[in-house]
Structure 1
Amino acid sequence: MPEPPDSRQLNSLTDASSNKVTKYFLVHAKDTVEAERFLLDQRLGKEQNIAVIIRQTNQNSTYWRVLIRQLLHPSGSTKVFSVNKWSSGMGLANTNDIFPDQMANFYRTKLIGSTLRYKPFTDYEIVEGSRIVIPKPSIDISILDAIAYKLNFTYDIVMPADGEWGALKDDGHWTGVMGDVEFGQANFSLSLVIMQERVNSMDLTEMYFMDALSFITSKSPLSAPWQKLITPFQLKVWVCVLVSVCGGVLLYHVFYHFQATISSFHLLDSHASMRILASFLSQSLYQYLWLPAGRVFLGFWFLYAFLVTTHYKTSLTSTLAVPFFPPPLDTLEQLLGSNLKFGVTELKGNLV
């Protein structure tokens, strides 16, 4: 730029919506005062790649100075200094980078980190009457110590005033740890779960730990002893057996009714019911139907009673020997298909 941008241009250039694009500012200023005014503009607070060139003349020659600003400084404020100069006869005075990495050295700047206790990732000792806490050995604190040593900064860890990890409010602002970072009360946070809403609002590091989630359900209690008598068959099987018994009693009574027209022996309804039920208890009949159709009916009925009772006794034996537990839920589809009520607990703004 041939001169520092005006207010309208600067607002457009520093638009936060374009923060994914790396921007470089190379501006010409008429003197050192104008250069410093531009470099220290508050709207450029988050921009790293800014340089201003000014023309200066002395008794012997004319040269160009390159000024940049150092965002992090031991004094706690941004400082402007000369990084290079150029003249037509000498060229560049040194090989210093015009746009140095501002995040490579924090010059012992103290940063504030906001977090909550979340063992084994973060742990600390609370100081009575203060938001500042004393970090204790934990995973994220160890990582933070290594980063602080590499980048040359110190830090304090504080607790959020509302004791929450961070939930998005209706007005678009965050609570808890996220709110501390959003409103500048903290420079960073620790141990946050990556959520789409947070990605849209903050810069998050790469995930280094995958926390496996599982369903938690109460173990089914053992059924009462009397319930085990009906456990071998499902309800629809019991209904089918009951219907078949009623039908067998009716047919048995009908066959004896036809026999009664030839002989003098009559069969009471109660006796017909007892004889049909006796077949399920492996009891023989002391009197048989002599009609051919009746004998065919009894033959199939005894075979049917034998199969039903055998299956019932074997199932009852296995039920008594091995208690039955409902199968576990392994997928979301199984959970949706069950009759269980389910939900997720929100832990102070952090879904875990």
Structure 2
Amino acid sequence: MQYTMFNPPSTDRLENYNRHKFRLVENEHFPHMSAERQSEEPGTLLHHRDSIGTRVIQAMSSSLNFTYEVREPMDGQWGMELEGGNWNGIVKDLQREEGDICLDLTVTPQRYQVIQYTGAYIQQSIVILSSKPRPLPEYMSLIRPFEC
């Protein structure tokens, strides 16, 4: 399946949100989003720490004249489709309009069908490589089953 990002025409862009307060829904995911929880309650407000997402939203807020509050999703999940077409996590909060924006949510074909994405501001492909483990020497085969 192929999908494209939503990019509104320049004539539809607002330049001033008149201090409108947006509700961001985020999960901590360093270095993209770093935040400190204000309480242990589900859906608690978050205080941004310095991170890529924080810098992006601060720049947007300053240039477009809006304010924002950040909270975690009520169930702490990113967003998976459940039985019956329902969703959990950030996707659910966006669908129910309990949040307005999420800065760090991976595009998947399933999510793309139910929420609107803008163009990506950062892309990365992280790969962890390690050498293939060598087989244990045969003389260790007698002792190995007893190791904890």
Which TM bucket (shorter chain)? 0.7 to 0.9
TM-score where L is the length of structure 2: 0.76
Name which of 128, 144, 147 aligns with 2:39: 128
Q: Provide closer, same or farther for how the CA distance between residues 217 and 188 of structure 1 changes in structure 2, counting only shifts above 3 A.
A: farther
Alignment of 1:239-258 (within 5 A): none
Render the CA deviation track for 1:312-337: whole Å, top value 9, x for unaligned.
Answer: xxxxxxxxxxxxxxxxxxxxxxxxxx
Aligned equivalents of 2:140, 2:97: Cα separation in 1: 67
TM-score where L is the length of structure 1: 0.34
Identity of aligned pairs, percent? 22
Name which of 123, 128, 132 aligns with 1:209: 123
Q: Provide closer, same or farther for how the CA distance between residues 171 and 226 of structure 1 changes in structure 2, counting only shifts above 3 A.
A: closer
Greater C-alpha radius of gyration: 1
Q: Give secondary structure in 1 for the equivalent of 2:84.
A: coil
Question: Are the counterparts in 1 of residues 26 and 72 from structure 2 also a CA contact under 8 Å?
Answer: yes
The answer to which structure, 1 or 2, has the higher relative contact order (CA under 8 A, 6+ apart) is 2
Aligned equivalents of 1:205, 1:197: Cα separation in 2: 16
Structure 1 portions without partners, runs of 5+: 1-19, 23-99, 228-352
Structure 2 portions without partners, runs of 5+: 1-5, 142-148
**Aligned-residue offset at 1:173:** 2.2
Name which of 46, 59, 64 aligns with 1:151: 64
Q: Provide closer, same or farther for how the CA distance between residues 226 and 193 of structure 1 changes in structure 2, counting only shifts above 3 A.
A: closer
Render the CA deviation track for 1:6-52: whole Å, top value 9, x for unaligned.
Answer: xxxxxxxxxxxxxx8x9xxxxxxxxxxxxxxxxxxxxxxxxxxxxxx
Give the CA RMSD over aligned residues.
2.6
- Counterpart of 2:87, as a letter, is W
**Aligned-residue offset at 1:226:** 9.3
**Aligned-residue offset at 1:216:** 7.0
The answer for the alignment partner of 1:339 in structure 2 is: none
Aligned residues between the structures: 130
Q: Say whether residues 1:138 and 2:54 are aligned partners.
A: no
Q: Provide closer, same or farther for how the CA distance between residues 111 and 220 of structure 1 changes in structure 2, counting only shifts above 3 A.
A: same
**Aligned-residue offset at 1:217:** 8.4
Q: Provide closer, same or farther for how the CA distance between residues 194 and 226 of structure 1 changes in structure 2, counting only shifts above 3 A.
A: closer
**Aligned-residue offset at 1:187:** 0.2
- Counterpart of 2:38, as a letter, is V
- Counterpart of 1:122, as a letter, is M
Name which of 16, 34, 38 aligns with 1:105: 16
Q: Provide closer, same or farther for how the CA distance between residues 126 and 198 of structure 1 changes in structure 2, counting only shifts above 3 A.
A: same
